[in-house]
């Protein structure tokens, strides 16, 4: 369960204050997939970072499983998994070594980690490459390793930052399947993306960010009612035009 309340973040760029996120609130329930959508520069990544506790909000707060991120940051991080577009692998480590390394970073008990490794390897079809150096993996294999990495500590909340960017159809399918697994396990998933077609397929609810503010929020039906348009893409174009008109 994620509860974000009135998040606000300002950055100083060359002496000028730039509001990246302004009073953004949303909730993600257990077993729910929430799409945080918006064009580039809308404030998605900053919002995600505030949820992670990597960036401290100037105002507002985030609660994960009832704990505020500014109260017990370490505890919050145990609850969170993170998978992002830019995630890399360690070229000189084997897949097994890398996954166990992350289990250690999350202070997972070694025996538990080893059991989970076997389970995740089956789930994501990486059993055959467990002892291969990461530098020898294909893009698809690397992606599956990254997905497995996000689950090594079995977090109740998963943050996905543009997880399909740069992936082909097969790669994207793997991600969708992964999201389905997360949903079926009752995890709260916060998905940030600008691929609206994908979002429409996998998300239960949406939040449309533009210029750092939450413009529309709700299920697809809610959004349709609010905007009078059928598809996310159309809603977006309207939003951006509106912004240009200002």
Catalog residues that contact other proteins under the rule CB under 8 A: 11-13, 20, 45-46, 49, 52, 54-55, 73-78, 80, 82, 84, 86-93, 97, 100-102, 104-107, 109-110, 149
Q: Toward other proteins, which CB reaches closer, 75 or 115?
A: 75
Considering the complex, what minimum distance in angstroms separates the CB of residue 86 from other proteins?
4
Q: Scanning the structure block, which residue is given the tokens 């079995």?
A: 154
Please say whether the beta carbons of 226 and 216 come within 8 A: yes
Considering the complex, what minimum distance in angstroms separates the CB of residue 221 from other proteins?
34
| The Cα angle at residue 190 between residues 42 and 210, in degrees rounded to 5 | 15
Q: Scanning the structure block, which residue is given the tokens 């970072």?
A: 49
Q: Toward other proteins, which CB reaches closer, 21 or 223?
A: 21
- The Cα 134–Cα 156 span in angstroms is 27
Helix (H, G, I), strand (E, B) or coil at 120: helix
Considering the complex, what minimum distance in angstroms separates the CB of residue 164 from other proteins?
16
Considering the complex, what minimum distance in angstroms separates the CB of residue 82 from other proteins?
5
Considering the complex, what minimum distance in angstroms separates the CB of residue 126 from other proteins?
17
Q: Scanning the structure block, which residue is given the tokens 């943050």?
A: 159
Please say whether the beta carbons of 124 and 171 come within 8 A: no
Q: Toward other proteins, which CB reaches closer, 49 or 205?
A: 49
- The Cα 108–Cα 153 span in angstroms is 6
Please say whether the beta carbons of 21 and 43 come within 8 A: yes
Q: Toward other proteins, which CB reaches closer, 35 or 150?
A: 150
Q: Toward other proteins, which CB reaches closer, 61 or 106?
A: 106
Helix (H, G, I), strand (E, B) or coil at 230: coil
């Amino acid at each position: 369960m994620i509860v974000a309340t009135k998040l606000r973040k300002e950055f100083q760029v060359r002496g000028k204050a730039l509001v990246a996120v302004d009073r953004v609130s949303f909730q993600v329930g257990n077993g729910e997939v929430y799409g945080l959508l918006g064009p580039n520069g809308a404030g998605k990544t900053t919002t995600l970072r505030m949820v992670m506790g990597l960036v401290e909000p100037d105002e507002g707060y985030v609660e994960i499983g009832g704990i505020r991120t500014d109260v017990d940051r370490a505890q919050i991080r145990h609850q969170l998994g993170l998978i992002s577009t830019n995630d890399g692998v360690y070229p000189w480590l084997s897949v097994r070594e890398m996954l166990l390394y992350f289990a250690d970073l999350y202070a997972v008990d070694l025996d538990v980690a080893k059991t989970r490794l076997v389970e995740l390897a089956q789930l994501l079809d990486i059993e055959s490459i467990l002892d291969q150096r990461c530098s020898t993996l294909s893009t698809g294999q690397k992606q599956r390793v990254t997905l497995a990495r996000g689950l090594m500590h079995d977090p109740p909340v998963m943050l996905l930052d543009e997880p399909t960017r740069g992936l082909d159809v097969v790669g994207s399918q793997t991600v969708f399947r992964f999201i389905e697994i997360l949903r079926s396990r009752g995890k709260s998933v916060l998905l940030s993306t600008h691929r609206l077609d994908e979002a429409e397929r996998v998300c239960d609810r949406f939040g449309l960010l533009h210029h750092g503010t939450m413009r529309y929020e709700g299920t697809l039906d809610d959004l349709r009612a609010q905007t009078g348009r059928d598809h996310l893409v159309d809603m977006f174009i309207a939003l951006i035009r509106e912004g240009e008109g200002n």
